[in-house]
Amino acid sequence: MRSWSKSMVGGIAVALAVAGCAGSGSSGGDSAAAGPRTLTVWLMNGSAPTDLTDALHKEFQETHKDVTVRYEVQQWNGIQDKLTTALAGNDAPDVIELGNTQAPKFAAANVLLDVTAAGKDFNSDQWLGSLKDSGSWDGKQYAVPFYAANRMVLYRKDMFEQAGITAPPASRQEWLDAITKLRAKFGADPDFQALYLPGQNWYTLLSFIYDEGGDIARSEGTKFTATLDSPQAKAGLEFYKQLVEASGTKAPKDADEQTPEQAGIYGQGKVAMVIGLPWEVATAAKSDPTIKTLTSAFPIPSKNSGTPAPVFQGGSNLAIPANSQDQDLAKDYLKLMSSAKYQGAFAKAGMIPGTSSDVSALERDPVNAAMAKASKNGKAVPATPGWATIEAGQNPLKDMLTAYLTGAKSIDQATSDANAALNKAFAS
């Protein structure tokens, strides 16, 4: 799944064995076949805007006269099992979208076409680093970056002005100072929250860990070892707690940003800031339409003044199944989708293009501009098949956050337990 919002490699491998698939791409159709053909494309619900796909498919079919594009929009719920079945059979789609946490699992199962040699055709010199990493496995590239998004701090301009905050915070300390001013101005209202920050927003935690020079894990080839017990990771966790305590947030410490939906809380007009994604403004505006004009954004601040903190980037990749019967057409489709023309359309729609460094369209909107500025230092979760299991199940990072924030565990115990759980998932 896209990690901003998920069976096992072994299961995929078993399915392949039953189906008798080669998995190397040798049974696919990399050379053009004669006569009318159909290119089957699976993209996910909520991904490419309809006007973009309509234009792309029209252009593709104009240059491929005997080809019909069968475009099928898939739902995220249940897609991992559906893909596992499809990639093990003889009637697989030709182009598929994979969430950046899914790609390593399928790449490791040898059910995706190796596109390393074709990278230049897909603008590989401009690939977004976080998505490039998630689409690679064991030194080879199996998926092409599609688009991405990352979090930033959404804030109420009117509240900042009333609290005497003249510029968006450019460091952690300035952020804390802004919170102090907001609470001094509006704190008499018992419902006011300077920052709404749920206890299990692990995406935000990663920014603080990265900013300290830490990471979730280190890799040696395809082997990953958890590093949440490092001094850098602990420092990131400590700042998360400091921010929670300073903000006076009323968010639950045992739930994430979707429980309850934080955009709805922000839309009620009693919250000055949330750490979220650009489209959460539209969700908040369902409660109060004026919030669109009242909201701006700034990158998550670093401890180093003037430099945005690194951010976790969620997003999607595009891949060609190894058993696609029309791999030549699939490559042509990816070449068109990764062109400046269509990647520019993604930027206009408010997404970070995966195969273009041009984010000028994003910079015209203050919220999207903050996302684009932070995106230059985006990172992905460990590119291991075990990560999809972590996110689909009981996420150790969430458990660690809740245990530490509530005082149920010391920072040493919380990070040690999370490390053990991650290493178990990596080994599986």
- Quick: pLDDT tens for 199-233: 999 999 999 999 999 999 999 989 999 999 999 99
pLDDT of residue 80: 87
pLDDT of 72 higher than 60: yes
Residue 122: phi and psi, rounded to 5, are: -110, 25
Model confidence at 101, in pLDDT bands (50, 70, 90)? confident
Model confidence at 77, in pLDDT bands (50, 70, 90)? confident
pLDDT of residue 12: 33
Q: Omega before 278 cis (within 30°)?
A: no
pLDDT of residue 388: 76
CA atoms within 13 A on the CB side of 165: 25
Query: What is the CATH code for 9-149+314-379?
Result: 3.40.190.10
β pairing state of 95-99 and 140-141: unpaired
> In terms of pLDDT, which residue wins out, 392 or 336?
336
The CATH architecture annotation of domain 152-312+383-427 reads 3-Layer(aba) Sandwich (3.40)
Query: Based on the number of CB atoms within 10 Å of its own CB, is 349 exposed (0-12), middle (13-18) or buried (19 or more)?
Result: middle
Closest Cα to residue 253, out of 202, 320, 198, 298? 198
Query: Does the predicted model carry a pTM greater than 0.95?
Result: no
Q: Model confidence over 227-263: pLDDT tens digits?
A: 999 999 999 999 999 999 999 999 999 999 999 999 9
> In terms of pLDDT, which residue wins out, 276 or 26?
276
Q: Model confidence over 165-198: pLDDT tens digits?
A: 999 999 999 999 999 999 999 999 999 999 999 9
**Number of neighbours of residue 428 by Cβ within 10 angstroms:** 12
pLDDT of 4 higher than 60: no
| Mean pLDDT, the chain, integer | 91
81-106 average pLDDT score? 92
Model confidence at 28, in pLDDT bands (50, 70, 90)? very low
pLDDT of 5 higher than 50: no
For 357, the 3-state DSSP assignment is coil
pLDDT of residue 393: 78
Which residue spans of the chain are classified as CATH 3.40.190.10?
Answer: 9-149+314-379, 152-312+383-427
The answer to whether 385 and 98 are in contact (CB under 8 A) is no
Cα separation, 243 vs 245, in Å, equals 5
Q: Model confidence over 365-412: pLDDT tens digits?
A: 999 999 999 998 999 999 998 887 787 778 999 999 999 999 999 999
